[in-house]
């Protein structure tokens, strides 16, 4: 029985010191806003805020009065980052069983919760081994500290390798209208084949962050579609992702209440087949083969 993650997921990377530096009361308010809008899943990683954002969120969660059973919390581990509270001399990855367990338990303490709904390995390491990973994941699951296990930024072959000893529930990947390699390199095919939930980080891609010919072409199409669908541009960009048959869950990074509400409404938009392909063609700059 899979955990039921909300279709739109709230990414917390910019909630703390790597972004908006929200106070506990502001974070708690944002959590309530997400919940009221229909977002119940919150995405973390131990490294966010240089290993500080989970604890900030945990304090806000404790203040919020939100029932733990009514939300889902995701976190990630494995990146050893150069930060004030770590003695790392170089950014690297650690997927020893001891480190995965220590990292998950530290996240639990910081988030002020007894369990994670989903623990992800943050990025693939050339030195990872499925047996070593399984040692940690089996223990964490047996102790009830994590419900499900997944990966992030993993290729099909890496998923296959890890999956030999661990059941992968989700893979969080970069995917958007401007970053769609996962459709062509077998990543999404693999996830459909193996019933793995795709979650997409940076789901708006560079559509609102860059100015170039590609972005101009996309905006020309979006301008035409906003009226047709009675939708905002960011909703249409999310609707494009949501149409993919893999059932992708966009992880949105915004802390703006209005944009959070907007994002959830994107789940009600059904892009036509031709409009979907028009956006793809303008993004890639050529017809499909």
| Pair of tokens at residue 128 | 């990872």
pLDDT (0 to 100) of residue 3: 86
Residue 55: domain span: 9-210+234-267
pLDDT in tens, 37-66: 999 999 999 999 999 999 999 999 999 999
pLDDT in tens, 168-224: 999 999 999 999 999 999 999 999 999 999 999 999 999 999 999 999 999 999 999
Pair type for strands 92-93 and 79-80: antiparallel
pLDDT (0 to 100) of residue 2: 75
Tokens 């220590």 correspond to 102
pLDDT in tens, 130-161: 999 999 999 999 999 999 999 999 999 999 99
Q: Is the pLDDT of residue 129 over 80?
A: yes
Q: Is the pLDDT of residue 272 over 80?
A: yes
Q: For the chain, what's the residue count?
A: 289
Q: Virtual CA dihedral for 75, 172, 267, 262, nearest 10 degrees?
A: 60
**Mean pLDDT, to the nearest integer, of 100-111?**
98
Q: Is the pLDDT of residue 227 over 70?
A: yes
Q: Is residue 219 part of a domain?
A: no
Beta bridge partners of 282: none
- Number of compact structural domains in the chain: 1
Q: Is residue 279 part of a domain?
A: no
Q: Is residue 191 part of a domain?
A: yes
| pLDDT level of residue 118 (50, 70, 90 thresholds) | very high
pLDDT (0 to 100) of residue 1: 60
| Pair of tokens at residue 11 | 């990414």
Q: Is residue 80 part of a domain?
A: yes
pLDDT (0 to 100) of residue 106: 98
| Pair of tokens at residue 212 | 């170039």
**Mean pLDDT, to the nearest integer, of 11-29?**
98
Beta bridge partners of 11: 43
Identify the CA nearest to 163 among candidates 137, 198, 199, 142: 137
Q: Is residue 277 part of a domain?
A: no
| Pair of tokens at residue 24 | 């506990």
Mean confidence (pLDDT) of the chain = 97
**Mean pLDDT, to the nearest integer, of 64-71?**
98
HSE-up of 203 (CA within 13 Å, CB side)? 29
Task: Decide if 108 contacts 115 (C-beta within 8 A).
Answer: yes
Q: Is residue 260 part of a domain?
A: yes
- CATH code assigned at 103: 3.20.20.100
In Å, how far from its chain's centre is CA 56?
19
pLDDT in tens, 234-244: 999 999 999 99
Q: Is residue 156 part of a domain?
A: yes
Q: Is residue 274 part of a domain?
A: no
| Pair of tokens at residue 179 | 């970053």
pLDDT in tens, 75-104: 999 999 999 989 999 999 999 999 999 999
Q: Which residues are catalytic?
A: 48
């Amino acid at each position: 029985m899979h955990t039921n993650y909300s279709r739109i997921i709230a990414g917390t990377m910019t909630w703390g010191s790597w972004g908006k530096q929200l106070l506990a009361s502001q974070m708690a308010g944002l959590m309530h806003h997400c919940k009221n809008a229909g977002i119940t899943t919150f995405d973390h990683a131990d490294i966010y805020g240089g290993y500080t954002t989970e604890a900030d969120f945990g304090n806000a969660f404790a203040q919020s009065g939100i029932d733990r059973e009514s939300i889902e919390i995701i976190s990630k581990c494995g990146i050893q980052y150069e930060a004030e509270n770590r003695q790392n001399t170089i950014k690297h990855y650690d997927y020893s069983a001891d480190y995965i367990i220590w990292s998950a338990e530290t996240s639990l303490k910081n988030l002020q919760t007894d369990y994670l709904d989903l623990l992800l390995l943050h990025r693939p390491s050339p030195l990872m081994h499925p047996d070593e990973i399984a040692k940690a994941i089996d223990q964490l699951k047996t102790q009830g500290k994590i419900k499900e296990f997944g990966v992030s930024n993993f290729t099909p072959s890496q998923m296959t390798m890890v999956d030999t000893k661990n059941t992968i529930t989700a893979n969080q990947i970069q995917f958007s209208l401007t970053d769609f390699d996962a459709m062509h390199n077998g990543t999404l095919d693999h996830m459909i084949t193996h019933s793995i939930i795709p979650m997409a980080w940076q789901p708006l891609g560079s559509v609102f962050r860059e100015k170039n010919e590609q972005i101009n072409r996309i905006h020309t199409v979006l301008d035409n579609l906003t009226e047709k669908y009675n939708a905002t541009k960011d909703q249409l960009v999310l609707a494009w992702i949501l149409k993919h048959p893999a059932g992708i869950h966009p992880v949105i990074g915004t802390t703006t209440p209005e944009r959070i509400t907007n994002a959830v409404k994107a789940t009600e938009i059904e892009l036509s087949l031709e409009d979907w392909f028009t956006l793809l063609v303008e993004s890639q700059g050529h017809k499909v083969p």
